[in-house]
Structure 1
Amino acid sequence: MMGFISDADLAALREQVRRGCQELQHPYPAFVLFISFSSGKERAAVRMVRGATYNAVWQAGVAAIRELAEQQTGENFWLRIDWPMAVEATTFAELHRMLAGTKRNYFRLGISFDENFEHALLEQELNANAMLYGGNHNPTAEFNEGNFRAYFQSRFPITPLPAFGDDTRVHLFTSKGAFFDGDTLHDLYPTGRNAGRRIIDALSIPLLNSLIAAGSDFLADQVGADGCFVYGLHPCFDRSIDSYNTLRHASATYAMIEAYEVTRSQSLRDAIERSLTRMRDDFIVRTDLPDGRPAAFLVEANSEIKLGGNALAILALAKLAEVEGGDADHGLMSRLAAGISFMQDAESGAFRHVLDFPSVATKDAFRTIYYEGEAAFALMRLYDLTGNGALLAAVQRSFSHFIAAGYERHHDHWLAYAANELTRHCPREDYYRFAIANVAGHLDFVANRVTTFPTLLELMMASRQVLTRLEGDREHAHLLGHIDRSRFGAALERRALYLLNGHFWPELAMFMKNPARIAGSFFIRHHAFRVRIDDVEHYLSGLIAYRRQALEAAATVGLGQRNLAGDRDAPEDCPQAQPVG
């Protein structure tokens, strides 16, 4: 025994690395191993071993593992071993051209600054230290000399910095790896879009449960005693995002309640209550409208009232009522709905997006397409709870506007959520056509988008509910001919699995400054691995929907088709428009 890894685990790791490791050709060392270790408290320390035979290199690697483990303190034992698969020499000028043609943070090659791999950096080191990130002003990768200098000097403290001239020779390499988390040995994907994370072929229910628990635990940990979230983190350097957004406070709370329905975690429930209390007592302002009707608005720190803010507040409160029962928040939700009604034109169904508080004068007639779908979705969820026909009528007015304005071109996930809920209660052909058109022309984008784009899974999950319902609707089943169901299913599954590239697995988190703080969360790679509460929210909502529909599909095996629309039958006649509130 080595004290921190058993002889059996060490032997298994040795063989796994040996099976994948390829001998490099001259002039490079025959075998190169990168040994990375983190206890979770510190950024991974990395050592390189090189040699002419695998046995010699492995023995040097074992010594490096022992050295690294003895230097760090913490609860975790995260050990990762990577090795080059292929190497190609080039110049710094050519590297700059390659970076200029690569989306920021999507450069997936390692760099060695000499043929002997004495001074080399893994792709994960480069990206986790923002060495190829020039800021969000540049959509492509960019060599960041300041960040490079800081990390290179910490990794190679007695080595002069490489020259950065156009003719400077560098060696780019692909790689593969293995990861040991203290219990289990994981094979890692080689260089490519999935590079550096554990190989997973399918989203099983146990895996989904684990992802949902980890992501929601992360959100719960961000809620302080005052009920406010740590709004976001830049994990490369463990920096908090100091701004705040009450709309996203509400949306993150909604996602936590969705997750609580799955996990029933008491610590999560406690965080939900702190967050809701802050939202109810401080962020929501109760007031009277100019016509005297009681209303309420979710107000931002800059005194903006956002249409989407009221919507997300309703969604959070309605979800809690659905999960736990009770009507304690019905009055508050009705006032928030009255605020949404005040922002809707009674004739056209269009919404004003942003008002000023307390004047409630229009500040922005339009800001983002998201707000309108959020508003319609929230009103439908409140209708489910109350049966108030005025809410359904308001959504119908909004859909008249959406259809007339061609909003299906936006392929928006919130509009998909709203269309799914509306067609449950009003299965009209024009609503179904809108729901299908909202996704049908977007399937290639869903399947192939290089970023994880978690809202795409939400779009697909809500749309699949509509398509499943159409299968049992004799009057409207012909509309299924407007979408390629096979391509839809393939795109959905590919996008769902692709979301795993945005999860902070330990084997990725270990390269960040404070791994334990962000392990288990979800990130946006092209924003320098940003972890913001709304980023995590969207990953969670998509994965929760995927899990729910997977369980529903499993439950129907052998039972034939069943109506997944819910307990309420669709009304024969939808209510006529009338005021909300």
Structure 2
Amino acid sequence: MFLSKLILQIRPVVEEVVSAQAPPYTLFISICDGKRRAKVRHATADDFSTAWRSAVSKARRAAKDAEMDVCWLKVDWVTGIEETTWREIKRKLTTLTPCFFRNGIALDRDLKFAFLEQEINGNAMFYGGKKIEHAAINESKFKAYVRRRYQEQPEVDFSDENPVYVLSTKGFFTNGSAPPVPLHGSGRNIGRRRVKEIDEVTVARLILTSSQYLARQVRASGQFRYGRHACFDRNINHYNALRHVGSIYAMLEAWELTGDQKLKDAIDRALGYLTRKIIKPVTLPSGREVSYVVDGDEIKLGGNSICVLMLAKYVSLTGSKEYDLLMERISLGIDYLQNPDTGKFVHVLRYPDLSLKDEFRIIYFDGEAAFGLMRLYGIRKDPRWLAIVEKAFKYFISAEHWRAHDHWLSYCATEMILYRPEEKYYEFGLKNATDYLDAMEGRIPAVPTQFELMVAAEKMVYLLKRDKNSAHLLKKFDLDRFYDGLHKRANHLLNSYIWPEFAMYFKRPRNIVGSFFIRRHGFRVRIDDVQHYLSGLIGYLYYLLRNRTHKASNNQVDEDILEPRLDFDSKTIDNAKEHLKSAHSSTD
């Protein structure tokens, strides 16, 4: 039985660490088959062997009763106990973002009825719903999980004065094909594997698995499975055309690196759905024929801009001419949305009558428009598209758009500098990133768009270092602080990646493993969430590879290289793929 192999493999490393502690010992064993939520059993004893035998016996019985073909095993042990009251727990929860409680809980002093942090969050026991802005006890879900977890039903009384016990834990995880990996204990990293360094291989793993996740979400029709709430595998039935297009773009970025044919097939299916169902022909008042991405009854600047960005990427990678006319028509449609005198864009029109719905909706749309048209200019060198962006930037600068600290503005400023390395664009990009460092340093949640902002800004800094005419602008830019923030953000993203040791506590582990979640939204997994994590990590991997190559060449810079990108070296990707084969993840 594979469970026996996992138990034999993990016991020595657990025993070595736990036996060094003072008794008693409380051990939790979590078992999972990848298809269903993990079964968790635990035991307490004054010596390790007794606690181990008891916990293992309970786990084996649970596996047999559930007819579970176990593939993942996780062992946790209690390292600290703090007695408190439900009143204090409730007070603490009001200070936390939803799902950010990072400890286990026991209902009694002897830890007979106890729960890991992952059980609590995986079953939404401290999630009050989207209408409550802070963490809160969900009494119905808490009691429902207690009924499933324990045959002997404890009485759960949330009265303020009743005692409760907060647990700190540590653990190991194994899938049997690699040595057990140590897991972080209490704190913001709790429950996920320790990673010594977020290096090229680690980042490549995240890119490969999350792009494969997106590929699996593309149905035969080409429509995405839009998203799900991981705790209970509930589908998000809403659909958004902009996010459909943006997810294809991120998949193309990943396909450029991996060459994964299944990913390319999924891209083509999603493109087919886009052109058949989402993009519509429109006749402008002038009589000009254009095309628009239509979302319900709306024509959004953002959706059309990302579509141009995505199609330009597709053409640059494949050499296909299939979408040339479509790119032209959508770009002309974007031109119609710009005031030719001020450079300002209109954000939303009604379809099909083209009446104004929203002059402004969200700052993202402006940066997306400029970025998409700059990428189109990059492959076509048609001055029409550059002229639109130059007018737009005149407006962005006068309106001080950099105060929004938007990742799309960071992308488009960096792209503009590739072709117009003028100080005003550098200054805009630096302000967009620099003035946000204070806010970013204080942000605990892993927000992928913030990471994208920094990755795009890093590319601009790279260009600026080599621009003798404008490099002086960096004198006011704290490079050490910037790069320290970049690396911290990269490492913090690891807490939103769905490792197997995270996935196992949700209802359908295989449906989400290898993707990314948004913890504060009840562990939401949505295609655009994965898109932004994926794009940011791809940019970060380019930075890591470029930086390593730069150091290997004794810090000599090739002045003939304009575009600061390097292809993945085959050894890195091969190593990443081998690493993936050794893990139970979405590449199985």
Q: TM-score, normalised by structure 1?
A: 0.93
Question: What secondary structure does 1:102 align onto?
Answer: coil
CA distance in 1, matches of 2:152, 2:51: 23
Residue 293 of structure 1 corresponds to 288
* Alpha-carbon contact 2:143-2:156 (below 8 Å) kept: no
| Per-residue deviation, 1:17 | 4.5
Residue 103 of structure 1 corresponds to 97
Question: What secondary structure does 1:118 align onto?
Answer: coil
The answer to whether the aligner puts 1:566 opposite 2:563 as a matched pair is yes
CA distance in 2, matches of 1:247, 1:419: 21
CA distance in 2, matches of 1:425, 1:294: 30
Question: What secondary structure does 2:83 align onto?
Answer: strand
Residue 335 of structure 1 corresponds to 329
* Alpha-carbon contact 1:16-1:178 (below 8 Å) kept: no
Question: What secondary structure does 1:192 align onto?
Answer: coil
* Alpha-carbon contact 2:86-2:163 (below 8 Å) kept: yes
| Per-residue deviation, 1:16 | 4.9
Alpha carbons of structure 1 residues 104 and 509: separation in structure 2 relative to 1, 3 Å: same
* Alpha-carbon contact 1:40-1:74 (below 8 Å) kept: no
CA distance in 2, matches of 1:293, 1:499: 46
CA distance in 1, matches of 2:62, 2:142: 23
Alpha carbons of structure 1 residues 186 and 68: separation in structure 2 relative to 1, 3 Å: farther
| Per-residue deviation, 1:75 | 6.4
CA distance in 2, matches of 1:366, 1:74: 53
Residue 578 of structure 2 corresponds to none
| Per-residue deviation, 1:110 | 1.0
CA distance in 2, matches of 1:299, 1:448: 38
Task: Report Cα offsets for 1:459-486 as digits up to 9, x if no partner.
Answer: 1111011111111111101100121000
Q: 2:415 aligned to 387, 402, 421, which one? A: 421
Alpha carbons of structure 1 residues 372 and 7: separation in structure 2 relative to 1, 3 Å: closer
Task: Report Cα offsets for 1:293-321 as digits up to 9, x if no partner.
Answer: 221110012x1011001011111111111
Residue 22 of structure 1 corresponds to 21
* Alpha-carbon contact 2:199-2:544 (below 8 Å) kept: no
Alpha carbons of structure 1 residues 336 and 73: separation in structure 2 relative to 1, 3 Å: farther
AA matched with 1:344 = Q
CA distance in 1, matches of 2:124, 2:500: 19
Residue 344 of structure 2 corresponds to 350
* Alpha-carbon contact 1:133-1:144 (below 8 Å) kept: yes
Residue 12 of structure 1 corresponds to 12
The answer to whether the aligner puts 1:252 opposite 2:251 as a matched pair is no
Q: 2:210 aligned to 203, 211, 215, which one? A: 215
CA distance in 2, matches of 1:77, 1:3: 7
Gaps of 5+ in 2: 566-588
| Per-residue deviation, 1:71 | 4.0
| Per-residue deviation, 1:281 | 1.7
CA distance in 2, matches of 1:126, 1:69: 21
* Alpha-carbon contact 1:149-1:161 (below 8 Å) kept: no
Alpha carbons of structure 1 residues 116 and 74: separation in structure 2 relative to 1, 3 Å: closer
Question: What secondary structure does 2:195 align onto?
Answer: coil
CA distance in 2, matches of 1:18, 1:351: 62
* Alpha-carbon contact 1:76-1:182 (below 8 Å) kept: no
Residue 194 of structure 1 corresponds to 189
CA distance in 2, matches of 1:204, 1:70: 40
| Per-residue deviation, 1:114 | 0.3
Percent of pairs with identical residues: 41
Question: What secondary structure does 2:35 align onto?
Answer: coil
CA distance in 1, matches of 2:159, 2:564: 69
Question: What secondary structure does 1:117 align onto?
Answer: coil
Question: What secondary structure does 1:82 align onto?
Answer: strand
CA distance in 2, matches of 1:115, 1:6: 31
Question: What secondary structure does 1:299 align onto?
Answer: strand
The answer to whether the aligner puts 1:59 opposite 2:48 as a matched pair is no
Residue 583 of structure 2 corresponds to none
Question: What secondary structure does 2:5 align onto?
Answer: coil
Residue 182 of structure 1 corresponds to 176
Q: 1:148 aligned to 133, 142, 162, which one? A: 142
* Alpha-carbon contact 2:410-2:457 (below 8 Å) kept: yes
* Alpha-carbon contact 1:502-1:523 (below 8 Å) kept: yes
Question: What secondary structure does 1:502 align onto?
Answer: coil
* Alpha-carbon contact 1:306-1:353 (below 8 Å) kept: yes
| Per-residue deviation, 1:253 | 0.7
AA matched with 2:557 = Q
Alpha carbons of structure 1 residues 6 and 380: separation in structure 2 relative to 1, 3 Å: closer
Alignment of 1:406-555 (within 5 A): 406-555=400-549
AA matched with 2:384 = A
Residue 200 of structure 2 corresponds to 205
Question: What secondary structure does 2:485 align onto?
Answer: helix
* Alpha-carbon contact 2:463-2:564 (below 8 Å) kept: no
* Alpha-carbon contact 1:180-1:186 (below 8 Å) kept: yes
Question: What secondary structure does 2:92 align onto?
Answer: helix
Alpha carbons of structure 1 residues 567 and 444: separation in structure 2 relative to 1, 3 Å: closer
Residue 35 of structure 2 corresponds to 41
Task: Report Cα offsets for 1:113-157 as digits up to 9, x if no partner.
Answer: 001111111111111111111112222101111111111111123
| Per-residue deviation, 1:44 | 0.5
* Alpha-carbon contact 1:17-1:177 (below 8 Å) kept: no
Alpha carbons of structure 1 residues 567 and 512: separation in structure 2 relative to 1, 3 Å: closer
Question: What secondary structure does 1:260 align onto?
Answer: helix
CA distance in 1, matches of 2:346, 2:467: 35
| Per-residue deviation, 1:408 | 0.7
CA distance in 1, matches of 2:62, 2:455: 45
Task: Report Cα offsets for 1:427-464 as digits up to 9, x if no partner.
Answer: 11111100000000112333341111011111111101
Question: What secondary structure does 2:494 align onto?
Answer: helix
CA distance in 2, matches of 1:290, 1:377: 27
Alpha carbons of structure 1 residues 164 and 430: separation in structure 2 relative to 1, 3 Å: same
Task: Report Cα offsets for 1:90-132 as digits up to 9, x if no partner.
Answer: 1111111011111111011111000111111111111111111
Alpha carbons of structure 1 residues 386 and 234: separation in structure 2 relative to 1, 3 Å: same
CA distance in 1, matches of 2:310, 2:266: 13
Q: TM-score, normalised by structure 2?
A: 0.92
AA matched with 2:170 = K
CA distance in 2, matches of 1:127, 1:489: 32
Task: Report Cα offsets for 1:492-548 as digits up to 9, x if no partner.
Answer: 000011101000101011000111110111000000000000000000000111112
Question: What secondary structure does 2:169 align onto?
Answer: strand
CA distance in 1, matches of 2:534, 2:474: 29
* Alpha-carbon contact 1:153-1:161 (below 8 Å) kept: no
| Per-residue deviation, 1:222 | 0.7
* Alpha-carbon contact 1:136-1:527 (below 8 Å) kept: yes
| Per-residue deviation, 1:67 | 2.7
Question: Alignment length, in residue pairs?
Answer: 561
The answer to whether the aligner puts 1:273 opposite 2:268 as a matched pair is yes
CA distance in 2, matches of 1:172, 1:377: 49
AA matched with 1:250 = V
Alpha carbons of structure 1 residues 6 and 139: separation in structure 2 relative to 1, 3 Å: closer
* Alpha-carbon contact 1:39-1:72 (below 8 Å) kept: no
Q: 1:126 aligned to 104, 120, 123, which one? A: 120
Q: 2:225 aligned to 222, 226, 230, which one? A: 230
Q: 1:384 aligned to 354, 378, 396, which one? A: 378
Question: What secondary structure does 2:135 align onto?
Answer: coil
Alpha carbons of structure 1 residues 238 and 567: separation in structure 2 relative to 1, 3 Å: closer
Question: What secondary structure does 2:421 align onto?
Answer: coil
Q: Which range is displaced more, 523-532 or 211-220? A: 211-220
Question: What secondary structure does 2:540 align onto?
Answer: helix
CA distance in 2, matches of 1:2, 1:438: 53
Alpha carbons of structure 1 residues 6 and 425: separation in structure 2 relative to 1, 3 Å: closer
Alpha carbons of structure 1 residues 147 and 8: separation in structure 2 relative to 1, 3 Å: closer
Alpha carbons of structure 1 residues 280 and 3: separation in structure 2 relative to 1, 3 Å: closer
Residue 574 of structure 1 corresponds to none
CA distance in 2, matches of 1:173, 1:18: 15
